[in-house]
Chains A and B, each alone.
Chain A
Amino acid sequence: MSPRRIAVIECPEEIPCNPCETVCPQGAIQVGNPITSRPRLDTRHCIGCGACVAACPGLAIFLVSSDNNGPDEVTFPYEFLPRPEPGESVTAVNRDGESLGPAWVKACWQPQGADGTYLVTITLPVGLATKARGIRRPSHDR
């Protein structure tokens, strides 16, 4: 059984914004009124579709899946060129851009209506799903 993929919202401040709530096909995210309330995710209803990841103007939502039977998986928004290719070996980074070691690109796709924001899914060693939030960009290594 593949591990369950679920959204993780890293939106720590009260800013007037709610596209995550509007875009969720499951109604699993609630911002409500006032619009500055922080989003709350009902994890029971999240299907890990990634609509919110692509819609969030703050690029602050990720998809995470981990269990003990296989590698961890993290999906994050990506708006740089060149885009990573599936199968490519990359360097995963944490929230501070520091290396977490090698990871592999599982998928790179653009949900409908994402207007240029791609979603990249990487697989990486067990235990890193809570830390990995991106990859080192090729130009960064130059």
Chain B
Amino acid sequence: MSALTIARSGAQVVLIDENDQPGGQLCKQIHKFFGSKDHRAGVRGYRIATELLEDCAAAGVEILTDTVVFSIQDCTLGLAHRDDCFYLKAQAIILATGASENPLAFPGSTLPGVMGAGAAQTFVNLHRVLPGRRVLMVGGGNVGLIVSYQLLQAGAQVVGVVEALPRLSGYQVHAAKIKRAGVPIWTGHTVLEANGDQEVQEVTVAAVDDHFQPLPGSERTLAVDTICLAVGLTPLAELAWQAGCRFFYQSALGGQVPLHSVNMESTVPHIYVAGDMAGVEEASTALEEGTIAGLAAATAMGCSVPQAELEAAQERLASLRRGPFGDLRQRAKSELIKRWTDCHPGE
């Protein structure tokens, strides 16, 4: 989104992605997005990725795939592509490196068959391979609920969803979809252990008390070949650390996140941040942050950008953080912006 925005503003853009196809998580989001028409609500995520890539090509964005950024110093990036290594100097850099899935340790968690929910989603939606036939989902946030539904669509059986908290953190409408499909959801439950000879064959789950301690006698053992972990995401912000950006811990945003301005500029001049690496949220918020970072970077490079466009993007972003689900994230983001402002007196 950032690349497209900047290219449309008239600057030269290079889009670097370590994968063989840019688009990030959008490429495997086969569900329809929430939001408004302006946020492309009702459009399936992978179609948004395709549209963005086509638009990028049309706008003249140069795309480097299979390319890893291994260093960042001032505005120079170190890049590795297969056996080649080269450097690229830029006027502005936008970091939109996403997030990684959190692990969960329990006896048997290293057995083959235990994987991140995002990994299972990559299997079914990108590679069209079922990771297993009988799946236990750990985590009742939107990722756990949506991936459970998509595993059902792919033909797997989801034997249940466990969530340690007393209530689901994901949307009830996502939970309702899999409940109708016959998937039990056990809140106040956790995974105790996985067992199997060479790979996962069964899993034991149990109810937990108020301190998340397993309640003896509540154990239940289920035959599964796959355990998916959907227990949160952590921003992948190594490049921002390397660049010297200042960070702040915000649990509502997934951990340590770079301070940024309302225009997504980090504490290091010319380096902007956007999407999950700047605080784990939704794909739709990531798209808006990308737009804002792009517009701000283009302005800083001397391109003419209508101020109204930037304000409209900020208003769209704010609308996505309203309501009980967005409130916590909105406050965490405001704190980041306030701390950024404290570092930049006079701006």
Q: Is the CB of A79 within 8 A of B155?
A: no
Chain B residues lying within 8 Å of A36, measured Cβ to Cβ, are 319, 322-323, 326
Please judge, given known A-B contacts A16-B34, A93-B182, A136-B182, whether A115 and B44 are in contact too, CB under 8 Å. yes
- Select A18's contact among B41, B176, B322, B325, beta carbons within 8 Å: B41
Chain B residues lying within 8 Å of A11, measured Cβ to Cβ, are 173
Chain B residues lying within 8 Å of A81, measured Cβ to Cβ, are 153
Q: Is A60 on the interface with B (CB-CB < 8 A)?
A: yes
Q: Is A15 on the interface with B (CB-CB < 8 A)?
A: yes
Q: Is the CB of A13 within 8 A of B173?
A: yes
Q: Is the CB of A12 within 8 A of B172?
A: yes
How many B residues face the partner with a CB closer than 8 A? 37
Q: Is the CB of B177 within 8 A of A16?
A: no
Please judge, given known A-B contacts A80-B153, A139-B155, whether A59 and B323 are in contact too, CB under 8 Å. no
Alpha-carbon gap, A81 to B150, bound state (A): 12
Q: Is A46 on the interface with B (CB-CB < 8 A)?
A: no
Alpha-carbon gap, A105 to B317, bound state (A): 42
Alpha-carbon gap, A15 to B31, bound state (A): 16
**When each residue 33-56 of chain A gets 1 if its CB lies under 8 Å from chain B and 0 otherwise, what string results?**
011100000000000000000010
Q: Is A8 on the interface with B (CB-CB < 8 A)?
A: no
Chain A residues lying within 8 Å of B35, measured Cβ to Cβ, are 16-18, 35
Alpha-carbon gap, A134 to B180, bound state (A): 6
Q: Is the CB of A34 within 8 A of B319?
A: yes
Q: How large is the interface on A (under 10, 10 to 19, 20 to 34, 35 or more residues)?
A: 35 or more
Please judge, given known A-B contacts A80-B153, A136-B182, whether A13 and B41 are in contact too, CB under 8 Å. no
Please judge, given known A-B contacts A14-B323, A134-B181, whether A57 and B176 are in contact too, CB under 8 Å. no
A34 to chain B, nearest CB (A): 5
Q: Is the CB of B179 within 8 A of A96?
A: yes
B21 to chain A, nearest CB (A): 21
Q: Is A71 on the interface with B (CB-CB < 8 A)?
A: no
Chain B residues 39-70 with CB under 8 Å of chain A are: 39, 41-44, 47
Chain A residues 9-34 with CB under 8 Å of chain B are: 10-19, 22-23, 34
Q: Is the CB of A80 within 8 A of B152?
A: yes
Q: Is A86 on the interface with B (CB-CB < 8 A)?
A: no
Q: Is B171 on the interface with A (CB-CB < 8 A)?
A: yes
Q: Is the CB of B33 within 8 A of A60?
A: no
Chain A residues lying within 8 Å of B31, measured Cβ to Cβ, are 57
- Select A15's contact among B39, B155, B157, B171, beta carbons within 8 Å: B171
Alpha-carbon gap, A18 to B32, bound state (A): 12
Q: Is the CB of B183 within 8 A of A97?
A: yes
- 23 sample A-B contacts, Cβ–Cβ < 8 Å, listed by A number: A13-B325, A14-B323, A14-B324, A15-B171, A15-B173, A16-B36, A16-B39, A16-B284, A17-B41, A18-B41, A22-B37, A35-B322, A55-B32, A58-B171, A80-B181, A95-B176, A95-B179, A96-B179, A97-B181, A134-B180, A136-B182, A137-B181, A140-B157
The 7 A-B pairs with the shortest beta carbon distances in the complex, nearest first, are A58-B173, A36-B323, A97-B182, A57-B32, A14-B323, A19-B42, A17-B34
